[in-house]
């Protein structure tokens, strides 16, 4: 005889109808018919169902499991936050003793532990997110505080991973600065449990917290600033080198991504972020050349492959490693440096090395075109001011050198001659006198 197949609804009805005393009749595991077994407690039945009971169909089974998990979570947490009618009537006048609070916490944690240990690994994140949504759906600060105590106890006992809890709290859509009490309680909990998160997780949390702080407007009531400060306290704890939560270099990188050079940090952070960034200025100076913007190279054939003078081919800035707070002049375009090298004889190879130009790959460099056009205009002005234009004069030598440079860079298509002519026409029309 084949096995009898039941849907979940059908099984639930049978199970509810056939319970008798301390025993219950269930479908036989060895074929058709029924057998009597000992009645299980609700917790044991939940554990048994989660361990391997499969209802007809895979997709439907997954949905039923999800519904079952959410239903059980709701039952567990609503049980510990429910209040009697008289407590609701006289709200604020009844308070649980510390012993009662502890008993509730232990009871809630015990019921949740049994559910959590029988959940599959892939359902853990969904479970924690549901708990966070349930807590953030509460509007009573006392209930929120109690449920956060449950979460803290679950993390401290090793039941819940602290990183998953912190990420779920920070990424919750309900966590807004307008809900000041929820904001304060949430960041107090994060401050309490973030010590158990690894440095990679702390780095992601720092980024998320800084972005969450950015949602606070520039002007808020002074009455709420104290509660908003809890977010700053978490950031200060992460940036504390003695806490050893995150390598300082990773922290300054995240801060510089959000607040680059010249952009002020959020007012809530005050001087916390700026002081932390400034502590890296000596490191930035060690990692750069002192007075680099005032130095000029000796241009010759042997110095053509020197990497100390490399520039970004689009911005003409020095390539700087990392997001350290370098001196401001290092972020400026080094047009004077490139122009100086272009004016020197035998500088073509050095210019190619500075801008990363390869003769094998034809690539147009607009910044190089601009400097060549400026040199042409400069040569025109020199020719006008000289009384005599003799062979071998300075102007003659300048034109010979400039023509050699133009032929080379146009030949290898590093500069576009039509674009240079148009640019030269625009600059001459801006007020330059006509050359001889």
Inform me whether the pLDDT recorded for 415 exceeds 50. yes
Instruction: Give residue 91's pLDDT.
Output: 53
Summarize pLDDT for 173-191 with one digit per residue, the tens. 999 999 999 999 999 999 9
Instruction: Give residue 385's pLDDT.
Output: 76
Q: What is the DSSP letter of 25?
A: E
Map residue 23 onto helix, strand or coil.
strand
Domain presence at residue 260: no
Count of domains for the chain: 2
CA dihedral of 130, 136, 138, 140, whole degrees rounded to 10: 140
The per-residue pLDDT of the chain, averaged, comes to: 80
Domain presence at residue 261: no
DSSP result, 31-45:
SSSEEEEEPPPHHHH
Domain presence at residue 23: no
Inform me whether the pLDDT recorded for 395 exceeds 60. yes
Element (H or E) spanning 421, and its range? Answer: helix 417-429
End-to-end CA distance of the chain: 111
- The pLDDT of 360-389, averaged and rounded, is 83
Domain presence at residue 226: no
pLDDT band at 302 (very low <50, low <70, confident <90, very high): low
Which pTM was predicted? 0.72
Domain end marker among 160, 187, 218: 160
Residue 334 sits in which domain range?
A: 299-430
Cα separation, 69 vs 61, in Å, equals 12
Instruction: Give residue 118's pLDDT.
Output: 84
Inform me whether the pLDDT recorded for 58 exceeds 50. no
Q: What is the DSSP letter of 159?
A: S
Instruction: Give residue 115's pLDDT.
Output: 87
| Nearest to 404, CA basis, from 319, 363, 345 | 345
Q: How far is CA 48 from the centre of its chain?
A: 41
Where do runs of H (alpha helix) occur along 240-317?
248-258, 272-278, 281-286
Domain presence at residue 347: yes
Q: Which comes out higher in pLDDT, residue 213 or 289?
A: 213
Instruction: Give residue 182's pLDDT.
Output: 95
Going across the sheet that includes 34-38, the strands are 19-20, 23-27, 34-38
Cα separation, 225 vs 268, in Å, equals 8
Q: Which comes out higher in pLDDT, residue 259 or 304?
A: 259
Asked if residue 361 lies in contact with residue 316, where contact means CB atoms within 8 angstroms, the answer is no
Domain presence at residue 407: yes
Domain end marker among 134, 160, 186: 160
Cα separation, 187 vs 397, in Å, equals 71
Cα separation, 205 vs 208, in Å, equals 5
- The pLDDT of 114-140, averaged and rounded, is 90
Kindly report the number of other CB atoms within 10 A of residue 258's CB atom. Answer: 16
Instruction: Give residue 34's pLDDT.
Output: 52
Q: What is the DSSP letter of 19?
A: E
Can you give the length of the chain in residues? 436
Domain end marker among 109, 135, 160: 160
Domain presence at residue 425: yes
Inform me whether the pLDDT recorded for 233 exceeds 50. yes
Kindly report the number of other CB atoms within 10 A of residue 199's CB atom. Answer: 12
- The pLDDT of 265-286, averaged and rounded, is 92
Inform me whether the pLDDT recorded for 46 exceeds 50. no
Domain presence at residue 41: no
Q: Which of 195-199, 326-330, 351-355, 371-375 has the highest mean pLDDT?
A: 195-199
Inform me whether the pLDDT recorded for 201 exceeds 70. yes
């Amino acid at each position: 005889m084949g096995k009898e197949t039941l849907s979940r609804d059908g099984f639930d009805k049978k199970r509810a109808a056939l319970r008798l005393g301390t025993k219950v009749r269930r479908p036989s595991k060895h074929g058709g018919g029924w057998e009597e077994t000992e009645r299980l407690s609700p917790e044991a039945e939940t554990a048994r169902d989660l361990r391997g009971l499969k209802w007809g169909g895979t997709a439907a089974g997954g949905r039923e499991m999800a519904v079952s998990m959410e239903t059980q979570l709701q039952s567990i947490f609503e049980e510990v936050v429910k209040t009697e009618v008289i407590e609701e009537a006289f709200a604020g006048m009844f308070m649980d003793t510390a012993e009662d609070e502890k008993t509730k916490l232990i009871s809630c944690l015990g019921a949740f532990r049994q559910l959590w240990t029988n959940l599959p690994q892939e359902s853990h994140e969904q479970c924690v997110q549901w708990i966070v949504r349930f807590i953030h759906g509460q509007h009573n600060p006392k209930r929120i505080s109690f449920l956060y105590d449950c979460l803290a106890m679950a993390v401290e006992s090793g039941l819940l991973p602290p990183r998953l809890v912190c990420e779920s709290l920070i990424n919750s859509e309900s966590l807004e600065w307008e809900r000041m009490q929820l904001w304060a309680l949430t960041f107090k909990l994060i401050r309490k449990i973030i010590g158990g998160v690894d440095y990679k997780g702390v780095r992601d949390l720092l980024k998320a917290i800084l972005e969450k702080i950015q949602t606070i407007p520039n002007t808020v009531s002074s009455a709420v600033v104290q509660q908003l400060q809890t977010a700053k306290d978490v950031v200060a704890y992460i940036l504390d080198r003695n806490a050893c939560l995150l390598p300082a270099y990773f922290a300054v990188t995240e801060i510089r991504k959000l607040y680059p050079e010249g952009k002020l940090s959020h007012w809530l952070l005050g001087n916390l972020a700026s002081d932390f960034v400034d502590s890296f200025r000596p490191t930035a100076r060690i990692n750069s050349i002192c007075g680099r913007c005032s130095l000029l190279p000796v241009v010759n054939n042997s110095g053509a492959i020197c990497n100390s003078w490399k520039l970004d081919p689009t911005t003409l800035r020095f390539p700087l490693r990392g997001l350290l707070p370098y001196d401001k002049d290092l972020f400026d375009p080094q047009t004077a440096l490139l122009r100086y090298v272009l004016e020197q004889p035998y500088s073509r190879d050095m210019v190619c090395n500075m801008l990363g130009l390869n003769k094998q790959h034809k690539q147009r460099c607009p910044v190089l075109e601009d400097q060549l056009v400026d040199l042409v205009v400069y040569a025109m002005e020199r020719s006008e001011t000289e009384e005599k234009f003799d062979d071998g004069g300075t102007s003659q030598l300048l034109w010979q050198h400039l023509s050699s440079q133009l032929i080379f860079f146009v030949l290898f298509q590093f500069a576009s001659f039509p674009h240079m002519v148009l640019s030269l026409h625009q600059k001459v029309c801006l007020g330059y006198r006509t050359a001889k």
